[in-house]
Each structure stands twice: as structure tokens, then as C-alpha cells.
Amino acid sequence: MKAQAIYRIQTDPAIYLSIGTGNWEQLDHSETDTAYMLAHPMWYLGAGGVLRYLREARALRRRNIVLILLNNSLREHRLARMCGLRSRFISQNMNVCEHTYRIRNEPKRWDAVYIAAAKPYKRLHLARLVDSLQVITYFWPDQRNAEGKWDLHAFEPAIRHASFNDDWISDTEEIARRVSASRCGLALSRKEGAMLGMMQYLYAGLPVVSTPSLGGRDLFLDPRHSVIVEPTAEAVRDGVREVLRRNVPPEEVRTATLERVDSERRKLHALCRELGRGGGHDCPDYAAFHEHVWGPPDGLERLRVY
């Protein structure tokens, strides 16, 4: 599922799904029946986000579309409800495609991988004591050195020992191979959204070393496979050593993740059934709904309208 895209996941009534508010102005719903926009905030929902979504809710309502936020953490859900927004506690991570990111027979080259933008909030410096480190990165806005390449070492000298990609990787298969060539994944930001990259680790069977965070990624971290450590370089190094010492079979990590994903997807199905019954419509059973929304290898992409 791509940020700033809109997917139509149901027809009667019309139910749209999105991350962020991109392209909402193009959505023209002129039908008599009420439509619904189910939206995952792109970032941790604070006071500024609440005000923005209150404005968006009013704009959508003028087009006969009701906004319902799908929040990634219970804290954000409660804030949204308290401020008058319709909200459900349903994580966006349920939409990461499990078909692309899977357990692969790749030789292990690195102890840890971190999928992270070259941004201060990702706190790359906390990985400086992880000896064997790969960073899958992107520069936003795009910044190039004299050779026309990204230079993560110049951005964060503390991880000059890390391997990284010096240009954009557009091939998801290549990203999946690089993830599978690592023994664990890192999640080091203090606050962001639910961190879609973390799901790529978990689907590939990698345990995760995370710092405490706001934004909901902890919902998918099973203490049997992953650890949450203090935001220091020493604690991150020790966390990596700990999850590698456990040597958890990748199948156990992936299976536990898919169970949590299924729980979130069932919550979305229940919401769609509820919305349909309110207008005298029906929603397919969970198996049919799951196949329609997430079943094929391209997942949601064939349902994209904007």
C-alpha cells in the first residue's frame, strides 16, 4: 500500500482506504448513498494532525463522504475520539504485502539491517556499535555528492562502517533480498508512523531490535522474537547480540506476524460490515473480503483509484 494513494475496497457502500490525505480533492462522490474514507495518518497523530483531519472531515462531508481515521496506536485513537473525530484502532501495517516480503534462502551478510531515510528522526547514530550493519536508505529531498551518488557516511559519520545503497532501489525484490541477507532488523526512531519497513523484516523472518516509540510499531513486536531497548548505542548493540543469541527460527517470526496481521484485517472487515449494514448493504464474509483486498500478489494495487 502506497502513501498518498486511494484504494476503493468496497462498492456498496463505497469505501475508500488511504494513508495520508493525498489526492482527496480528486475524489468526487456524487452518489446518493454516503461513502466512507478510511484513512491511516502518515505520522504519529498529535494536536496538529487532529486539526488537519477535522478540516478534512468537514471538506469530505460536503461531498457526502464520511471520514473515519484508522489509528495505529490506542493513544492516537483515544485522542482522535476525544477531539470529535470518528476513529478505530486498526494498524496500517496490515496492508504491507506478505507475498513480496517472505523468508528467502539468502546467505547472511550482515548482523543487522535498518530501512531508514537519511533523516535525523531515524537516529542512525544509535547503530554505530553494531559491527555488521546494512542500511537501506533514501535521501529526501534528494541530495547527491560530486559523483552524483548518495553518501550516507557523510550524512551520519558515526556509521561509516555500514554498507548502504548509493542510489534509489526501485525493485522491491532487491530490497527483499537485502533484508533477507541480514540476521535482524532495527527500528530506532522515537516517533513516526507504524513503520512499514519493520513489517518487511518480520515477514522475512527477522527478529527486531527497537527503541521505545510513539506511532504504533510496538503492536507487532512479539517479546519471544524481538526486544525493545533503551535509545543508546550500547543498548542497541546488546539488543542485536541478544536476538542473535536466541536464534529463533524465521518461520516462527513470520507466523506470529501473520497472526497479528490477520487480527487487524478482521477488524477492518468488521468495520466494513458495520458500515454496510447501516445503509442496508451487505459485506462478503471474511474469506472473500480478504481475497478481494489482500489476496493476490499485487495486493491492494489493483484497487487503486488515485
Quote the cell numbers at residue 201.
523484516
CATH number of 110-248: 3.40.50.2000
DSSP line for 68-113: EEEESSHHHHHHHHHTT--EEE--GGGGS-TTTS----PPP-EEEE
| pLDDT per residue as tens, the chain (306 positions) | 888 899 999 998 999 999 999 999 988 887 778 999 999 999 999 999 999 999 999 999 999 999 999 999 999 999 999 999 999 999 999 999 999 899 999 999 999 999 999 999 999 999 999 999 999 999 999 999 999 999 999 999 999 999 999 999 999 999 999 999 999 999 999 999 999 999 999 999 999 999 999 999 999 999 999 999 999 999 999 999 999 999 999 999 999 999 999 999 999 999 999 999 866 677 889 999 999 999 988 889 999 999
How is the chain split into domains, by residue range?
6-89+259-303, 110-248
Quote the cell numbers at residue 299.
495486493
* Backbone phi, psi, residue 254, to 5°: -65, -45
Run of H or E residues at 164: strand 163-164
Alpha-carbon distances, residue 170 vs 56, 127, 153 (angstroms): 32, 25, 21
